[in-house]
Structure 1
Amino acid sequence: MKHLMVSVATGALVCGLAGTATFESAKAQDDVTELRWATSSTGSSGHRALTSLSQLLNSKTDQFDITVMPTPGAAASVRGFAGGQFDGYYGADVAFHEIANNGGRYEGFADQDHEQELVQSFWAYTLEVGLGVLAEDTDEIQSWQDLDGKPVFTSPAPWDTRAALERAMRAAGVEHEYVELDTGLAAQSLEDGTIEGMIIYTAGETSPSPWIQEALLSADINALNPNEEEMEMLSDAGIETVEVPNDTFDTDIGADAAVLVPFFYGFHVGTNVSEQGVYDMLVTIEENVGELAESDPSFSQVEADMVEMQLRGIRAAGETVPIHPGLAKFLREHDAWNEDWDGRIASMD
């Protein structure tokens, strides 16, 4: 009888502990923030980078459960986030300026009712855009303006890379004929004459987009660099250029370096994630940035100086969208916050 009582008591204790463990497990699950994070299409730099970032955050913290959501392009991720379809999005300074001006791909966007406010929370890298042509055409096409009036594929219509490149082309006096293509058909379209030029671009000045690299390996494509006059026109328009060395690409691009135009890209959430949540996310990225850059070289700029990358992104975005208070806290912790930005912090109400 005594043995039976001990057994019952022991069983009750085990059940109690199991119940406590189940409760704690359920509580831990309740504390996890599930994020449906939108990015660009599979095969793009954005999709590759967010896949690496989400794997890191999912493995290094128990706060987040991130699902990568491919979309037709960054513009689709921005619109989907604003409409409440996603919990995070892939946004660039060029898009924020279009939105602030209620123009370009976002004409009328500011007049619509949105479920979520666009907020900047993590600047990941620059994308650098330029032009390429068939090597056999370089005697005829030697500068950007030689593509004036000619069919050019500058990326799928919704993509920020297209907006950034076409802005630069307009500044350099190029009025091309835009051709919409599937990215996988770009090299073939160059070879059969459907287009005479196409975008080439890298992420973080270190890594070509996967579909660009595939195109460069499928056809003999050379970088088409702006000439001296076009460089001056870009500079006068306030557009920077960088030189990305030939050996960044897995094939010869016909020049020592590709002259490309950088713009800033980030993976952002809104006030749907708390100040502490975004701060913790940024700290986790900073603490594991070497692993992140090893997974995807696009993050090499963050690895070199994460704080400076955030400052550069904020400056590039200007007053277009608010700054997440978690990002502001992160910069304050590093004595890098600009007090002139105090009025630009998003409200969490």
Structure 2
Amino acid sequence: MKTLAVSTVAGLAVMGATLLTQPQITSAQEVTQLRWATSATGSAGHRAKVNLMAVLNREMDNFNINVMPTPGAIATIRGYAMGEFDGYYGADIAFNELANDTGRFEGFRDRMEREPVQSFWAYTMEVGLAVRASDLENYSGWGDLAGSPVFTGPAPWDVRAQLERAMNTLEVGHEYRELDLGLAGSSLDDGTIDAFIAYTASESSVAPWVAEAELSVDMAILNPNESEVQALRDAGMEVVSLDPGVFQSDVHVDEVMLVPFFYGFHLGPDVSEEDMYNMLVTIEENAEELARADSVFAQIRDDMPEMQRRGVEASINDVRVHPGLARYMRERDVWNSDWDDRIAD
């Protein structure tokens, strides 16, 4: 009995140390404990991850997923790269900055312990620009905002990074103004700024603070012109056309042209190809339920393989693909053989 007690204590100590560096596997129950980080409680990312976790924990007996709130998506990628989490909430724009050691990740690569990979793309967010409706006829495209004061979003946010990336691609050298979200509409109305970021989630709903801003100002969506749309696409970015009815008020255009980026809940190669593949199949089989619980999952309900293709295509040069995701995509005929050398080991 003494020998058994000593062995048990030693085993628990080893398990405790292991939990700090990799998913914990409890052999007696064959259950893998996953610490899956997401954004702050109350955010869209946290809500989506809680709903996703509920389905996966119910349907997959070999996993027990714990949702780990953090200040934001960037913190989850940093935490994964430093060995603090097993899963993370990552966007293609963040992966681009990480790969190039720029923006919010400048100087971080030298401290990383492991590289993130992409494994599940959940939904898009789509960014654009709103201007005063009375000024709309004075603009021919985004380029006319050069030199103007623009609120492109809170400094740490992915939506701002994506809009800045698109504007930089078009060489729209604007003056960034930091604002409280609640002041965006009134600041546009009184001329403090000439434009602010307007964005949607899953091509179906407007960010709550943007909807509130619509109550403070008669705003119009400023679409990029035809040559700007082509320049964005040539740079590897999508441009999507949405019905203006997605906004709460009349935005004075017949279509809304926005630049999407992709959000996903990702796991690393410590989760096997088989387990990741099975997880994706489970998500696909329960996509209708997920979409009922949270409308951001409508895109995977409508066409999950296509969402994976779009997400991978947007980030393939910046982050490798989990082999389980590659297998899933091959079986659904949305894998590009040009990506074969981008599959993670």
Which range, TM-score by smaller chain? Answer: 0.7 to 0.9
Query: Which residue of the partner structure matches residue 4 of structure 2?
Result: none
Give the alignment's Cα RMSD to 1 decimal.
2.9
Look up the match of 1:249.
247
1:38 is the counterpart of 2:43: no
Which deviates more, 237-246 or 33-42? 33-42
Within 2, Cα distance between the matches of 1:344 and 1:34? 27
CA contact (8 A) 1:44 1:211 kept: no
Asked if residue 209 in structure 1 is aligned to residue 207 in structure 2, the reply is: yes
User: For residues 117 and 255 of structure 2, what CA distance do their matches in structure 1 show?
Assistant: 35
Quick check: 1:208–1:248 contact (8 Å CA) kept in 2? yes
Tell me, yes or no, if the aligned pair for 1:325 and 1:346 is still in contact at 8 Å.
yes
Matched residue, 2:177:
179
In the alignment, the residues of structure 2 paired with residue 54 and residue 166 of structure 1 have an alpha-carbon distance, to the nearest angstrom, of 32
- Checking the alignment, whether the CA contact within 8 Å between 2:116 and 2:319 is kept in structure 1 is yes
Matched residue type, 1:251: S
Gaps of 5+ in 2: 1-25
Shift of 1:321: 1.8
Paired letter, 1:226: P
Which residue matches 2:89? 90
- In structure 1, distance between residues paired with 2:155 and 2:40: 13
Match of 2:164 in 1: 166
Shift of 1:121: 0.5
1:102-251 matched pairs, under 5 angstroms: 102-114=101-113, 116-138=114-136, 143-251=141-249
- Give the 3 Å change call, closer, same or farther, for CA 211–69 of structure 1 in structure 2: farther
Partner of 1:75: 74
Distance in structure 2 (CA, Å) of the matches to 1:187 and 1:51: 32
Q: Where do 1:38-57 residues align within 5 Å?
A: 38-41=37-40, 44-57=43-56
TM-score, normalised via structure 2 length: 0.81
Figure out how many residues of one structure are paired with residues of the other and give that number: 321
C-alpha deviation, 1:125, in angstroms: 2.2
Counterpart of 1:289 in structure 2 is 287
Query: SS of 1:305's equivalent?
Result: helix
Contact 2:34–2:86, Cα closer than 8 Å, also in 1: yes
Letter in 1 for 2:108: F
The CA distance in 2 between the partners of 1:69 and 1:254, in whole Å, is: 41
Moved more, 80-89 or 217-226: 217-226
Which residue is equivalent to 1:327?
A: 325
Identity of aligned residues (%): 58
Question: Structure 1 pair 62/188, CA: closer, same or farther in 2 (3 Å)?
Answer: farther
Contact 1:72–1:158, Cα closer than 8 Å, also in 2: no
CA contact (8 A) 1:45 1:203 kept: no
Q: Please identify, of 134-143 and 54-63, the stretch whose mean Cα deviation from structure 2 is larger.
A: 134-143
Contact 1:98 1:106 in 2 (8 A): yes
CA displacement 1:19-57 (0-9 Å, x = unmatched): xxxxxxxx7995443333333445654344333323332
Over residues 274-306 of structure 1, what are the superposed CA-to-partner deviations in whole Å (9 max), with x where a residue is unaligned?
333322221111001111122223222222221
Match of 2:262 in 1: 264
Which letter maps to 1:89?
Y
SS state of the match for residue 96, structure 1?
Answer: helix
State whether residues 44 and 209 of structure 1, in contact with CA within 8 Å, keep that contact through their aligned partners in structure 2. no
Q: Identify if the C-alpha distance between structure 1 residues 281 and 142 changes in structure 2 by more than 3 Å, giving closer, same or farther.
A: same
- 1:222 to 1:67, Cα distance in 2 relative to 1, 3 A: farther
Structure 1 SS opposite 2:321? coil
CA distance 1:257–1:50, change in 2 (3 Å): farther
How far 1:217 sits from its partner (Å)? 4.3
Q: Check whether the contact 1:39–1:73 (CA below 8 A) recurs between aligned residues.
A: yes
Structure 1: gaps (5+ residues):
1-26
TM-score, normalised to structure 1's length? 0.80
Q: Which residue of 2 aligns with 1:346?
A: 344
Q: Which is greater in Rg?
A: 1
Structure 2 distance, partners of 1:34, 1:190, is: 48
Contact 1:43–1:210 (8 Å) recurs in 2: no
- The answer to whether the 8 Å contact 2:237/2:314 transfers is no
Judged with a 3 Å threshold, the aligned counterparts in structure 2 of structure 1 residues 39 and 255 are, in CA distance, closer, same or farther, namely farther
Alpha-carbon contact 2:316-2:339 (below 8 Å) kept: no
**Contact 1:45-1:209 at 8 Å conserved across structures:** no
| C-alpha contact 1:302 1:309 (8 A) present in aligned 2 | yes
1:219-271 Cα deviation digits (max 9, x unpaired):
43321212344334434544331111112223322222211012222111112
Partner of 1:11: none
